[in-house]
Amino acid sequence: MNRELLSLIPAGVVLLVMACAASTPATPTQAPVPSPTALQLPTPAPSPTFVPATEPSPSPTVSGPDLDALGTAAAIEAATSAAASAISSSETATAQIATVTAETNLTATAEVEERFATIEAFQREAEARSTSIAATIAAAPTPTPIPTATPLPPAVQTTFQGHGTSVVGPLNLTAGLLHIEASHGGNGNFIVDLVTGHGEELLVNEIGTWSGSVIQAVHPSSFIAARPGQAWINVRADGSWTIRVKERLPHTERNFTGNGSGTAAYYFLDLRQGTVFVNATHSGQGNFIVELYGINGNAWELLFNEIGQFSGQTAHTVSAGVATIDPGLYAVAVKADGNWTLAIN
């Protein structure tokens, strides 16, 4: 028995093999064959004497402990061979597992490294974009806040009626705008002035039958406005007339599109920062004037000042600054003697 090989067999395998050998039934011992007894056959003639043949020496038999030792040795030899085969198979499987594990680890490591590289690239790109956005924001000019429209109180309306030349009032003027509607049924001059303690403002100057509306600014320091305080209306006419004075206009719009004939004033227009485009036509023979009046009475813009028939377009900048229209609310006023159209957007 190879002791070095036996030393490689785990103790548990050896014990199992010995147990199997111990449980193997012992081979029964051969009993010696008795020599046959000489038989005397009765014959008339005397029989020759039978000499028993020399019994061959019995083959040596193995019994008892020797037989057990041989069986155990064979079992151990078989177990050793099986163990050696198992060890060889185990070593082969271990080598294969190690190879597969190494290949798997290499593949997984490559995938992880690739994903980390992708994540790092995304992070670098995000940081670059953040830096670019921050630089753009830092370099951008601070936008001018767009003024919001102030809710208007209900319009205060005062109506005067008369015939011929007269003075009506008083009115208590406050800063802002007056919307004045007037009509005349005579054939001569129809002139309406607003008179304050600081001067007079011409509202209407027409001849004959007429009706229309105009805007008058009221402001303590504007050169185009009447001063706040008490005021009267001076009327010169040769027929019956009606005058209505509204201290506020009740409506606002982002855009304005209108048409009419003669002189008229319209509701407030909400102008916001940017560019405003104005288109207009006029078919009359006299003046064609389009104006904007700021809601506070301190702003005035002339959009058109033409005579006779006209068709055209103009653009204006709406922005807080010099030589521009300030953002805010404006009233639109048209003075004309014929049909006209107007679009502001």
Domain boundaries, the chain: 1-22+75-84, 153-250, 251-345
pLDDT for 249 equals 59
Residues 183-189, mean pLDDT to the nearest whole number: 94
pLDDT for 107 equals 75
- pLDDT classification of 34: cutoffs 50, 70, 90: very low
Q: Which percentage of the chain shows pLDDT scores above 70?
A: 72
The distance of Cα 92 from the centroid of its chain, to the nearest Å, equals 58
pLDDT for 141 equals 66
- pLDDT classification of 237: cutoffs 50, 70, 90: very high
Buried b (16+ CB within 10 A) or exposed e, 256-287: beeebebbbbbebbbbebeebebebbbbbeee
User: Tokens standing for 121?
Assistant: 């690239």
- pLDDT classification of 164: cutoffs 50, 70, 90: very high
pLDDT for 18 equals 57
Contact 338, 284 (CB under 8 A): yes
User: Tokens standing for 70?
Assistant: 């041989």
Residues 171-192, mean pLDDT to the nearest whole number: 90
Closest CA to 175 of 73, 66, 82, 297: 297
328-335 and 274-282 beta bridge pairing: unpaired
State the CATH architecture for 153-250.
Sandwich (2.60)
Give the C-alpha separation, 243 to 184, whole Å: 9
Q: Which percentage of the chain shows pLDDT scores above 90?
A: 21
Residues 73-82, mean pLDDT to the nearest whole number: 76
Buried b (16+ CB within 10 A) or exposed e, 12-38: ebeeebeeebeeeeeeeeeeeeeeeee
pLDDT for 31 equals 47
pLDDT for 155 equals 56
264-271 and 252-253 beta bridge pairing: parallel
User: Tokens standing for 316?
Assistant: 């204006």
pLDDT for 220 equals 83
pLDDT for 7 equals 54
- pLDDT classification of 136: cutoffs 50, 70, 90: confident
pLDDT for 29 equals 45
Range from 19-33, 242-256, 281-295 carrying the lowest mean pLDDT: 19-33
Closest CA to 318 of 278, 267, 268: 278
- pLDDT classification of 10: cutoffs 50, 70, 90: low
pLDDT for 327 equals 86
Give the C-alpha separation, 217 to 226, whole Å: 6
Phi-psi domain of 104 (left: phi exceeds 0; alpha: psi -120 through 50; beta: other):
alpha
Give the C-alpha separation, 64 to 76, whole Å: 18
Q: Which residue has the higher pLDDT, 186 or 36?
A: 186
Contact 3, 80 (CB under 8 A): no
Q: Give the range with max mean pLDDT: 62-71, 120-129, 234-243.
A: 234-243
229-236 and 256-261 beta bridge pairing: unpaired
- Class of the CATH-defined domain 251-345: mainly beta
- pLDDT classification of 204: cutoffs 50, 70, 90: very high
pLDDT for 27 equals 46
Query: Helix (H, G, I), strand (E, B), or coil: what is residue 181?
Result: strand
Identical fold for domains 153-250 and 251-345, yes or no, is yes
